[in-house]
Amino acid sequence: AIRRAYVQAAKRFHPDAVVRLGLHDLRERAQTVFGRIAEANEVLSDAKRRNDYDRSLDAGGEDFDAARVVQAEALYRKAEILLRAGNFAGAIEFLRPAVSLWPEECAYQSALGWALYKKSPSEPKEARPILERAVALDDRDAVAVFRLGMVLRALGETEAAVLALARAKRLDPKVKS
């Protein structure tokens, strides 16, 4: 059962599978997720390591839940497809649970804030704290900083918006302004 689950997850989350879906920019994340899947398989396939892992769970030592991360990433990938298609309301349906499963991920927070801002009707007031959280998680993420700048501009906070947009451009000159 462990082997079957591993093979199924490997087929779905291997970086090459992500690229075949046209999601080239997710390749690095897929490598991280795939690495965790491979690590889980190694631990669960070895009786001694599995016993050690089970004991660490009983002792409360293992906070990282690979299944939670894999599920969050799958939801996020679906949302990204909808975002690219301009279906922001549909993307929100996948992004909210992704953020709930893995609130520490800047990209998930950023995408949710952006979808809230871009959907019709736009919700920049709801988007702002989510984008602020994304930037707090990774203040070097040019896309998150750019999105926050756009929302600040929509809220009439011109000075803060100009600063955020200029900062995004410094972080990544290719970011749209």
CA dihedral 47, 51, 57, 62 (to 10 degrees): -60
> Nearest CA to 161 among 142, 147, 175, 174?
147
Q: Which amino acid is at 71?
A: Q
Q: Which pair of structure tokens corresponds to residue 71?
A: 């599920």
Q: Which pair of structure tokens corresponds to residue 145?
A: 């900083």
Whole-number pLDDT of residue 149: 97
Whole-number pLDDT of residue 125: 98
Whole-number pLDDT of residue 62: 47
What is the total residue count of the chain?
A: 177
Helix ranges restricted to H, 85-157: 88-101, 106-118, 124-137, 142-154
Residue 120 gets which letter from DSSP? Answer: S
Phi then psi dihedrals of residue 37, to 5 deg: -65, -45
pLDDT tens-place string over residues 94-144: 999 999 999 999 999 999 999 999 999 999 999 999 999 999 999 999 999
Whole-number pLDDT of residue 177: 54
Whole-number pLDDT of residue 61: 45
- Residues (pLDDT < 70) of the chain are 56-65, 177
C-alpha distances out from residue 115 to 6, 34, 43, 88, Å: 33, 27, 38, 5
Decide if 26 contacts 17 (C-beta within 8 A): no
Whole-number pLDDT of residue 13: 81
Whole-number pLDDT of residue 8: 86
Question: Distance between CA atoms of 161 and 62, rounded to whole angstroms?
Answer: 41
In the three-class reduction of DSSP (H, G, I as helix; E, B as strand; rest coil), residue 105 is classed as coil
Regarding pTM above 0.75, the answer is: no
Whole-number pLDDT of residue 44: 84
